[in-house]
Structure 1
């Protein structure tokens, strides 16, 4: 499924980038440009990031 329509980023691409060490949104934004245009994908991208980090046992407090 597409997460970011502006940049054409899929959930599979996002999950692969997270698995490759992108456990912070800032890094995903830099590497994939997710959330860098209209920003409507940010909540979904953050949810996927939280889900994948939870699977890996990484937990971050959201400010």
Structure 2
């Protein structure tokens, strides 16, 4: 799962744009101040952690 740290054009690449990346909705860690849900950059990284954890748990449930 790609983690988007800074602004980049990864969504412009057709096959790469289909991959689930975090943060979602085209956000990136470097622009954490633009997201009202994140009060600090640590909140942005915690969001990434929770998304990755959720993906792993979902994968494990589907694999079992």
TM-score by length of 1: 0.36
Higher strand content, 1 or 2: 1
Higher helix content, 1 or 2: 2
TM-score by length of 2: 0.36
Q: Is the radius of gyration larger for structure 1 or structure 2?
A: 2
Q: Which has the higher contact order (CA 8 A, sep 6+)?
A: 1
